[in-house]
Amino acid sequence: MDRFIDHVVKSHDVNLGLGTAMIEPIDVERTHAVPAPKLPKKTAPVLSPERVAENARLAARLQSLIKELRELQDVVNSSHLDHRVTRSFQNSVTHTHQNAEYLAQWLRSSNEGKDPYPVIVDINAERVRIADEQARDLLIDIDSQEIEHSTQGLEKLTKSVASLHKRLTSLLKDQ
């Protein structure tokens, strides 16, 4: 590959390469570090009293949902069902609970006039954590032969994982 790139760069054929005449040495005096522009700090919009009240009602409903989900999770955990079913349910409840917390955080920040967007950073981190957890669970299930070649969706999953791997490799390489 390196030989091919070298050939393309040094080639004088205008249809193939860049040509050596197009490559100029860098003039150090013409280059200088340009600081990143300072972006204005995001400020949350001022909410109307009606909107604040609506957000507060929604936050209260979310807290009620979170409490109910915890109680339901306790009942399911003590029901002596197959661990695979209860584990799947528990993961779903945990995910729902976490998203309800994020939404409540967003609402609180908005109501307090704070920037709610840092919640997005937490949401993305949680998505990465869940993807990692799901991948590890799939590995365990493949090793224990609970998932085999006839399991529906494996081809689609393989393509998605390959694309994700490619993007993650590129993302981590850019650091």
Whole-number pLDDT of residue 43: 60
Q: Take residue 164 and report the two structure tokens written for it.
A: 């994700």
pLDDT digit string, tens, across residues 6-60: 444 444 443 333 333 333 333 444 444 445 445 445 566 678 889 889 988 998 9
Asked if pLDDT for residue 161 goes beyond 70, the answer is yes
Q: Take residue 77 and report the two structure tokens written for it.
A: 């955990």
Whole-number pLDDT of residue 71: 92
Whether the model pTM is above 0.75: no
Residue position matching structure tokens 């197009």: 22
Lowest mean pLDDT across 39-43, 93-97, 162-166: 39-43
